[in-house]
Amino acid sequence: MGQTVADLGEFGLIALLTQRFSQGEHVVVGPGDDAALVRTRQGHVVASADMMVEGRHFRRDWVAGSDVGHRAAAQNLSDINAMGGVAHSLTLSLGLPPDLEVAWVTDLATGFAEEAALVGASVIGGDITSAPQVVVAVSVLGAVSQAPVLRSGARPGDTLALAGRQGWAAGGLAVLGRGFRSPRLLVDAYRRPEPPYAAGPQAAAAGATSMIDVSDGLLSETGHIAQASGVAIDVRSAAFEIPEPLHAVAAATGADPLTIILGGGDDHSLLATFPGDLPEGWTAIGTVAEGEGVTVDGAPYDGPTGWRHF
C-alpha cells in the first residue's frame, strides 16, 4: 500500500495538492491564507456550491480519483454555465478516511484542475478534514457579462431546447449498477461528463428567457422551470435521437431507452427556453404554454423523472 493521508498529515497533503492548482490573473491571494482574494470583473458575480458523498454519489470501485475530480468540478462549473456565466474561481474541501492512499487524492486534484482549466477557472482554496468516507465539497464563483438567465423567465409561446448529451451518464450508471463495464462510451460518460460550457453564455446572448442544467433528470429540471416560471411545458419524445449505446443498455436491462433520457441526470446538459430562433447547437424538444406542470407528448408522464436525494 502506498503513502496514506494519515501518513502525510493535513498540511502536508494541502501543500501537495495546491501544487496542482495554477492561478489566473484575477487571483490576488490564492491558497495559503485565511481566505482567497479575487478581482471581480464588471457585471454580476454568480456563486454556487455542491457536494459529493462516497456511497451516495459515487463508488471508488466504479470511478478513479481523477474521475471524481472531473465530476465534482463539472457539476459546479455547470451551475454557473446555466446562469449564462463563466466560472473563474473554485474552492475544494475534502473529508478523507485516514487510510486513504495519497495517490488517490492527488489524482482527484489533478482531475479537478483539468476540468477547471476547460473554462479557465482557478482553484483558490479549500479545506481538508478526517471523515469515515470521502466527501467532496465545492464552491464556485463566476461572472456574467449580461443579466443572468434565471429559471423563472419562461413565457407561453417559448420553445424548450436542449444543448449537450442527455441520457449517456444515466446509461453508464445503469451499466455499472449491473456489474458491467460496457458500453464503454456510456460508462465513460458517467465517469467524466462533458458539459456544453460554451452553450450557457451563447444562450444568454441569444435571448434565452430561462435556463437550468440537467443534474438530476431532464423532466425533473423541466419541472423546476415550469414551477418557477408559472407555465406549462410539454416535452416531445420524438425530438430525441436515441444513440445506439442506449439501445444496447435498454435491451440488456429491459428498460425503454426514452425513460433513460427523460429521467437521466449527471450529463450536465442545458435546458433553456427561447422566444425566437435557436442558437446553433441547441435542439428544440418542447413548447411552453399557459398552465402548470410538465407533460410528455401532451399527456401526464408516470415514469421516473430524475434523481431523488431523500
- 137-150 pLDDT per residue, tens: 999 999 888 888 99
Q: Are residues 39 and 137 in the same domain?
A: yes
Q: What is the pLDDT of residue 42?
A: 57
H or E element, residue 56: none
Report how far residue 117's alpha carbon sits from residue 95's, in angstroms, rounded to the nearest whole number: 23
Q: Is 79 annotated as a binding residue?
A: yes
Structural domain boundaries enclosing 14: 5-144
| The total number of structural domains that make up the chain | 2
Structural domain contains residue 305: no
Q: Is 151 annotated as a binding residue?
A: yes
Check whether 237 has a pLDDT greater than 90. Answer: yes
Q: What is the CATH number of the domain that holds 97?
A: 3.30.1330.10
Q: Are residues 138 and 240 in the same domain?
A: no
pTM: 0.89
Q: Is 57 annotated as a binding residue?
A: yes
Q: Is 267 annotated as a binding residue?
A: no
Of 144, 164, 198, at which residue does a domain stop?
144
Q: Are residues 53 and 37 in the same domain?
A: yes
| Number of alpha carbons in the 13 Å side-chain half-sphere of residue 260 | 30
Out of 26-35, 118-127, 203-212, pick the least confident. 26-35
Of the pLDDT bands very low, low, confident and very high (cuts 50, 70, 90), residue 34 is low
The overall average pLDDT reported for the chain is 92
Q: Is 266 annotated as a binding residue?
A: yes
Q: Is 26 annotated as a binding residue?
A: no
Check whether 241 has a pLDDT greater than 60. Answer: yes
Higher model confidence: residue 129 or residue 23? 129
3-state secondary structure of 46: strand
Higher model confidence: residue 59 or residue 305? 59
Q: Is 88 annotated as a binding residue?
A: no
Q: Is 93 annotated as a binding residue?
A: no
Q: Is 67 annotated as a binding residue?
A: no
Out of 39-43, 77-81, 210-214, pick the least confident. 39-43
Which residues have CB under 8 Å from 69's CB, separation 6+? 107, 108, 109, 110, 111, 112, 113, 114, 115
In this predicted model, what pLDDT tens digit does every residue of 259-310 receive, in sequence order?
Answer: 999 999 999 999 999 999 999 999 999 999 999 999 999 999 998 888 775 4
Of 87, 120, 144, at which residue does a domain stop?
144
Q: What is the CATH number of the domain that holds 284?
A: 3.90.650.10
Of the pLDDT bands very low, low, confident and very high (cuts 50, 70, 90), residue 33 is low
Structural domain contains residue 31: yes
| 56-79 mean pLDDT | 96
Which residues have CB under 8 Å from 202's CB, separation 6+? 279, 281
Alpha-helical regions (H) of the chain: 5-8, 10-18, 65-81, 102-117, 168-177, 184-191, 199-205, 218-229, 244-253, 257-263
Q: What is the pLDDT of residue 217?
A: 95
Structural domain contains residue 34: yes
Check whether 109 has a pLDDT greater than 80. Answer: yes
Q: What is the pLDDT of residue 94?
A: 98
Check whether 30 has a pLDDT greater than 70. Answer: yes
Check whether 195 has a pLDDT greater than 90. Answer: yes
| 97-103 mean pLDDT | 97
Of the pLDDT bands very low, low, confident and very high (cuts 50, 70, 90), residue 23 is confident
Q: Are residues 289 and 160 in the same domain?
A: yes
Q: Are residues 47 and 164 in the same domain?
A: no
